[in-house]
Chain A
Amino acid sequence: MSTETNVQEQGYETFSYDDRLTKMFVIATMLWGVIALFLGVWIAFELASWKLNLNLPWFTFGRLRPLHTNAAIFAFVGNAIFAGVYYSTQRLLKTRMASDILGKIHFWGWQLIIVGAAVTLPLGISSAKEYAELEWPLDILVALIWVTFGVNFFLTLKQRRERHIYVAIWFYIATIITVAVLYVVNNLALPVGFMKSYSAFAGVQDALVQWWYGHNAVAFFLTTPFLGLMYYYVPKAINRPVYSYRLSIIHFWSLIFVYIWAGPHHLLYSTLPEWVQTLGMAFSVALWAPSWGGMINGLLTLRGAWDRVRKEPILKFLATGVTFYGMSTFEGPLLSIKSVNSLAHFTDWIVGHVHSGTIGWNYMMTSGMLYFMVPKLWNTKLYSNRLANIQFWSATIGLLLYIMSMWTAGITQGLMWRAIDETGKLVYPNFVETVVKILPMYWVRAFGGTLVLFGFVVLVYNVYKTIKNAPKEQQEETFKALPLSANPIDAHGGSHRKLEGLPLYFSVLAFLAILVGSVIELIPSLVSNQFIVKDSRVRPYSALEVAGRDVYVREGCYTCHSQLVRPMAAEQLRYGRVSEAAEYVYDRPFQWGSRRIGPDLHRVGKKYSHMWHYRHMLNPRDVTPGSIMPNYPWLYKNKVKFGVLPKKLSVLAALGAPYSEEEINRAPELAKMQAKTIMDELVADGVPAKMADKEIVALIAYLQRLGIDMAEDKDEVASTK
């Protein structure tokens, strides 16, 4: 006590860091890391062997893939970000987090969201927008918890004892602001019930908003926070300052300004306006510069100390992480060049690219960060450097197998899809040929993923032993520092110095930087909806088709099937007429997908008989030998919920679908009438009449409707009415 009194007399303030919160996030990172990686391995094996879908709804690829991506991004990487941010922020600002209670609400709220995702996604409760599949109650919870985190963070900034806000904190600020904007806008929806909603956006607009979000989720959840962490943990681990602080400033402003523009590169050759695509491509290529500026800054921080990188596991992980950041940010712009994208899009090349980022950058950086933090947090030494090395090599070899197998699979399949012989016909007209060809690569990928998972299990064991061997009595350390008032803004300093000392203005500027790109990119496209000529032939889905579409959404069909025929000769030959914007105006959410594990479905309507679809969903191999699609036996048992259809149609009508009062009120009756017309054909083929109220009939109705509204053959259109 007397020491503290003396300290106070000298003008110092005493404080301690809330490391308990950091420890909780460290544990959560490891727990969810194992689960997220296990899910990834499991679904990788499901693609290699369809039987692993187990004929059970909760285990199908379509439902588990969203769980894997959400778990990897928000549970594993999310908790790692929070652990790293809480540890570094307090130390960089020389203050405890503003509120222990807000920290606890953040922690438990976030875990609750993850548990909510783990329960709802396998049950098929999904809004079917990639990396944003959670339904509206969980979306609201995400927004609230994120705001809690933000409030605690900004209150901490306010009570800091360090005038200058270090560059890592800038990246955290950009993350907090941007993720909030992205998440709220993309998840705008009108609820139908407790766990079902329809997107506020439709078709092309929905696609643009989704990929503005999807791309920037990568940018501002998987990249900017980790760059902030890089600028803190790499210097700390090597015990020398960042190579160039000036470069870090240019890196920051260039990156956050440019990144937000690049979203449309996910929608090249789509019905999105051409200039938006070009803009997205140009800014994606421009991203090379700031990304590599950051990577070089990180790697050069290690200059002259490479011998230590060879020996110390922490540095090994961090250096590899930064290197993979460079490699994936080289590959990303390359893939955004339209001619490259025409080959790579919808193939496994993209999947390989994504994992070189998430495993190479996020997993490696997280591992390095955990090995750095855990001994410090628990006041002990790492249990085993050897185990850390085993993890490093297991993960690195696994990752290389993963990436190389996906490169091979992606390029092979992409080339097979577009191969046209001298007579102008497709060389591989049967889609499944291109699937069977790459199956060996799926086994290699699954094995590589297993090595990555094994490495992480080794990390968990290593950390567990480290914590177990730590002193039982953990005393909270007390520090002293002068208050901010004793460290006034330098009156002669430049405006940047002042800006860095004023977090509010700094945050507003960062917000403006992301807003410029968002506004220029989004608003014209949102406005463009009124310029999409409403084709009178395009009608809203019938009540039964709405029910079928909801089954399609629930089963996550978009994880394997696209609904977008691109303007290319090979696509037109394989699928039919090129997709047009007007065809999607009633699609809430849009279902363009991002990967063709199976063929595109936008022109599947009327292509096959009802019986073909009936047999296909029961056992795809009956009609397509070699198919890797799961069986969907539950669609033949579950009944269509006709009673909820008036509510669904009225919500869609509120969003702009031109349903009449009668169509809404008589929706169940009209749906049953349409089901009967489908059943008449099925019964003639030997299907029992009692199947009329089953989900399979609704799904067939939806699939048969896809892409036929603007068909040239008017009789065909009339026949669907």
Chain B
Amino acid sequence: MKSQVLSNFAWTDLTVVAFLIFLGLFIFAVYWTFRKGSKDFYDNVGNLPFDEGQPLTGDKK
């Protein structure tokens, strides 16, 4: 059955296509995040969980 399916559509190249798509995306993501001048920006956004807005009332923090 498997050979019949494969002989009917030669889509085995999809594995290579899939790999290339992923490799491209990965390289782009690495380039993107490590681009020049972005360090300060990412350092700042990494601190977002600690900024919940300034409390006005109540006794919680």
Contacts and interface: CB of A to CB of B under 8 A. Distances in A.
Contacts of A166: 45, 48-49
Interface in A226-253: 232, 235-236, 239, 241-242, 245-246, 249-250, 253
A11 B51 CA distance: 18
A532 B5 contact: yes
A476 B1 CA distance: 65
B56 A3 contact: yes
Contact of B5 (A236, A253, A273): A273
Instruction: Name the prevailing secondary structure of the A interface residues.
Output: helix
Contact of A475 (B21, B26, B58): B58
A503 to B, nearest CB: 15
B26 to A, nearest CB: 6
B6 A275 contact: yes
A245 B49 contact: no
A618 B21 CA distance: 56
A447 to B, nearest CB: 39
Instruction: Name the prevailing secondary structure of the B interface residues.
Output: helix
B14 A533 contact: no
B10 to A, nearest CB: 10
A282 interface: yes
B49 A94 contact: no
Nearest to B53: A479
A524 B11 contact: yes
Interface of B: 1-2, 4-6, 8-9, 11-12, 14-15, 17-19, 21-22, 25-26, 29-30, 32-35, 38, 41-43, 45-60
A531 B2 CA distance: 10
Contact of B54 (A245, A246, A271, A479): A479
A309 interface: no
Given A275-B11, A278-B15, A376 B2 contact: no
B46 A245 contact: yes
B29 A274 contact: no
Contacts of B33: 246, 249-250, 496
Contact of B21 (A241, A246, A516): A516
Contacts of B53: 15, 91, 94, 161, 479-481
B49 to A, nearest CB: 5
Interface residues on A, range: 35 or more
Interface of A: 3-4, 7, 14-15, 88, 91-92, 94, 161-162, 164, 166, 168, 232, 235-236, 239, 241-242, 245-246, 249-250, 253-254, 257-258, 261, 271, 273-275, 278-279, 282-283, 286, 376, 379, 475-481, 493-497, 513, 516-517, 520, 524, 527-528, 531-533, 580-582
B1 to A, nearest CB: 5
B54 A286 contact: no
A277 to B, nearest CB: 9
A258 B22 contact: yes
A249 B29 contact: yes
A275 B2 CA distance: 9
Nearest to A88: B49
B57 A254 contact: no
B18 A275 contact: no
Nearest to A3: B56
Contacts of A479: 52-56
A581 B48 contact: no
B38 A232 contact: no
Contacts of B29: 249-250, 253-254
14 contacts: A4-B56, A91-B52, A94-B51, A162-B51, A166-B49, A239-B50, A241-B50, A246-B34, A250-B26, A258-B22, A494-B38, A496-B38, A527-B9, A581-B5
Given A241-B49, A493-B41, 18 more contacts: A236-B50, A254-B25, A257-B22, A261-B18, A283-B22, A376-B60, A477-B58, A478-B57, A479-B54, A479-B56, A480-B56, A481-B53, A481-B54, A494-B35, A495-B32, A517-B18, A532-B1, A532-B4
Contact of B49 (A92, A249, A496, A580): A92
Contact of A274 (B2, B19, B32, B46): B2
| Nearest 5 Cβ contacts at the A-B interface | A479-B53, A477-B58, A241-B46, A245-B46, A481-B53
A253 B30 CA distance: 10
Given A236-B49, A273-B6, A14 B15 contact: no
A94 B52 CA distance: 6
B50 to A, nearest CB: 8
Contacts of B38: 246, 494, 496
